[in-house]
Structure 1
Amino acid sequence: MSIGIGIIGTGGISNSHVRGYQANSSLGKIVAVADIDGARAEEAASRWGVDFYTTDYREILARDDVDVVSVCTYNQAHRQPTVDALAAGKHVLCEKPMAATLDDAKAMAKAARDSGRILMIAIHSRYSPQTIAAKKIIDSGALGRVYYGETISTRRRWIGSGSFARKETAGGGAVVDIGVYSLDTALHLLGHPRPKRVSGTTCMAITKDPSAQVYGGHSWDVDRTNVEEFGAAWIRFENGLCITFKTSWAIHGNSMGRSFFLGEKGGVALGPLEYYGDQFGMMVNVIPQDLPPEEDRFVLETRDFLECVRDGRPSPIPPEQVVVTNVIMDALYRSAAADEEVEVTPWQDVL
């Protein structure tokens, strides 16, 4: 049976979802498209070879030939289509971040539990060969108890534009855009520990400097942009682990360093993947050789999603895991606003 697919939102990221679905055409077919802009919906449907398009996503949810939907709207509009789709009995692949706010993410996770349908969050970094290999190393116990790590994503000069540039549509800047990948990577590699306190900071300085739009950078609307270009946090977890988180759209520097994780028996660094430990009475560095080649991660994640729908398996990237990124981001923003360390939202109010 071919799985019927609906696309909600035809902005830039929808093209990556569609590329993934089209590469997995043996599993499913796109049968409906929705966007609040009718002209964009019509153009996208024509480009993707889809007959049905609409400005009201609820018309997609009412169709019997739609089994799953991809939610590709801007961040602040992730919640309602996702909740409505799950209530209508559809499985959902929602683009990252899970939601613009913690309240939205909590509502989405609850809707998935109540519906019994799959909600998968599109965190494509989970399909990186490096991440998969690092997970194998850490799960083997080679690091022992991990007590400290740093998780980092750096852009030197690529400030978001369009819906990415406004809190009203994006919910945040670099933290929710690219920082969510490095946060999820750390949580995923370390078995999803629960955070308890966060001390965070954000900055919007280069963004407001017109002279910073230099050769080699990405242009943006200086007057319109109202989200952070930089975010950092010190995160304490219930198991004693501490993680430093850093992310940027714009800095005066080439890099803020590599992501790494330190344990009592060994350590791992990413970019490139490297293991550190003691063997043969010596300190050793191990660099894995011939990792699988990087594949199109959107093809991999849509395949995983469709196969789980077909086989009745649980979500490959479930909301109960990804909501923790929203817990941390919420605390980071509250801490930055208060200029002090804050407690995360109590877990009984999250899950």
Structure 2
Amino acid sequence: MNKVNIGMVGYKFMGKAHSHAYRDLHMFFPEAAAPVMKLICGRDEKGVAQAAEQFGWDGYVTDWRELLARPDIDVIDINAPSDAHKEIALAAAKAGKHLFCEKPLALTLADSREMLEAAEQAGVKHMVGFNYRFSPAVQLAKKLVNEGRLGQIYHFRAWFLQDWIVDPDFPLVWRLQKEVAGSGSHGDLGAHLIDLAHFLVGDMTEVIGMSETFIKERPMPSSMTGLSAKGSKDGPRGEVTVDDATLFLTRFANGALGSFEATRFAPGHRCTNSFEINGSKGSVKFDFERMNELQVYFRDDAEDVQGFRRVLCTDPSHAYMQAWWPPGHTIGFEQTFIHEVVELMNALSEDRKPVPNFADGVKCQQVLEAVDQSIAQRRWVRIDEL
């Protein structure tokens, strides 16, 4: 498969990120199959037409069903709001289209399982959008764990902190409405932490959590895009139906302990997506705001030079970096999506499942709902209960 024709649903924040990845991939990874940007879809014709021209798509439609009817479309990319994922994915699988869907996979565990089953029965490839896995520094952390260089893993602690809705007069965007988003910081930010934990440490066995919605009502929006919106603080207000912050503890199947915090109420933290792993032989620390770096500590270093060292993950020996710039020249957020699409393109060419795929999305959703159940019932919940 030398070329892969893409039909994409969604054209705002994630639509721009995915479009950039498709457009620039072959410049840096010419050995991968080339994604062809056929059609982009959005309900607002003016908005999607502008996006099609700006992002470089061949054309646009306003009904996603038109994408499925096109025999020349190979992959359906779904980055519309979460409430649209299931319907589009089920229909696309039935139409024999491969699937690339943003996280969280669906609004509920039951829906995500249905999506996985439909894709598997249809025999189509499926991928879920956990882009942070594809940071070279995260890939190095994975390598150190896999090679046993950190020893037995004791702790995984992670936190994803943002501050974009601290203002109580920030409008009620779709991400703050449960019927559209599924959940708040838990499903939006916490899902990334859960996937990183699964990727780096392994499966979880039980969880206990707590959450809070600090601002109960907000002004209705007059317009919104990405993480920004406009609205009058003196106008009508609506109820916030998702969590503003969720914290939980977990036990991993390998005996490690974990702690997770996801909040949009941490002033000064624009996108602090961080984790630390402690093992019997050493530790690593990662902060996405310094995404090209991994802090590494080894216990067997000479005593007089022990301490966390900064590893700049820009040498060709680090994952994906052979395609980029000379050592020391850093990459950014957008490159994680290019690496993600490289995996998708290679999987299609090699006739294998991409990683992460819908099974990883289901596993993440299972933890999300176990935490929700724990909060509602004020008890430890085993993952295998769900």
| TM-score relative to the length of structure 2 | 0.79
In structure 2, which of residues 276, 279, 291 is the aligned counterpart of residue 260 of structure 1? 276
Structure-2 separation of matches of 1:152 and 1:102:
23
Q: Which AA in structure 1 matches 2:133?
A: R
Q: Deviations over 1:24-72 (max 9, x none)?
A: 3670212122223444343433444545433331221121110111101
Aligned with residue 250 of structure 1, among 262, 265, 274:
265
**C-alpha distance 282-46 of structure 1, shift in aligned 2 (>3 A):** closer
Map Cα deviations across residues 90-122 of structure 1 (whole Å, 9 max, x no partner). 111111222221112111222222222211111
Aligned length: 339
Residues 196-224 of structure 1: CA deviation (Å, up to 9, x unaligned)? 221111111156599xxxxxx97787744
| 1:15 alignment partner in structure 2 | 16
Deviation digits for residues 178-210 of structure 1, max 9, x if unmatched? 2212221121111x32x2221111111156599
Specify the SS of the correspondent of 1:309. helix
Distance 1:99 1:125, change over 3 A: same
- Out of 327, 336, 343, the residue aligned to residue 297 of structure 1 is 336
Amino acid at match of 2:39: A
Q: 1:214 is matched with which residue? A: none
Q: Confirm or deny: 8 A CA contact 2:109 2:365 kept in the other structure.
A: yes
Instruction: Name the CA distance, whole Å, in 2 between partners of 1:39 and 1:87.
Output: 30
Per mean C-alpha deviation after superposition, the further-off stretch among 45-54 and 265-274 is: 45-54
Q: Would the aligned equivalents of 1:121 and 1:318 in 2 still touch at CA under 8 Å?
A: yes
Partner residue, 1:310: 349
1:198 to 207, 216, 219: 207
Report how far residue 126 of structure 1 moved.
Answer: 0.9
Kept in 2: contact 1:266–1:277 (CA 8 A): yes
Q: Which residue of 2 aligns with 1:213?
A: none
Change (3 A) 1:127 1:268: same
The question of 1:185 aligning with 2:222 is answered no
**Contact 2:142-2:200 at 8 Å conserved across structures:** yes
Moved more, 5-14 or 289-298: 289-298
Name which of structure 1's ranges 20-29 and 145-154 shifts more when overlaid on structure 2.
20-29
The SS at the match of 1:89 is: coil
CA RMSD of aligned residues (A): 2.8
Are the aligned partners of 1:153 and 1:248 in contact in 2 as well (CA < 8 Å)?
yes
Residue in structure 1 matched with residue 6 of structure 2 by the alignment? 5
Question: Displacement of 1:138 after TM fit?
Answer: 1.0
Contact 2:4 2:36 in 1 (8 A): yes
TM superposition score normalised by structure 1: 0.86
Q: 1:12 and 1:254, CA in 2 relative to 1: closer, same or farther beyond 3 A?
A: closer
Identify the residue that residue 309 of structure 2 maps to in structure 1.
Answer: 287
Question: Which amino acid is 2:212 matched to?
Answer: C
* Residue in 2 that maps onto 1:326: 365
Q: Residues 3 and 306 of structure 1 are in contact (CA less than 8 Å); yes or no, is this contact kept in structure 2? A: yes
SS at match of 1:66: coil
Change (3 A) 1:280 1:245: closer
- CA drift at 1:314: 2.2
Q: Percent identity?
A: 25
Matched residue SS, 2:339:
helix
User: Residues 166 and 172 of structure 1 are in contact (CA less than 8 Å); yes or no, is this contact kept in structure 2?
Assistant: yes
| Structure 1, gaps ≥5 residues long | 211-216
SS at match of 2:158: strand
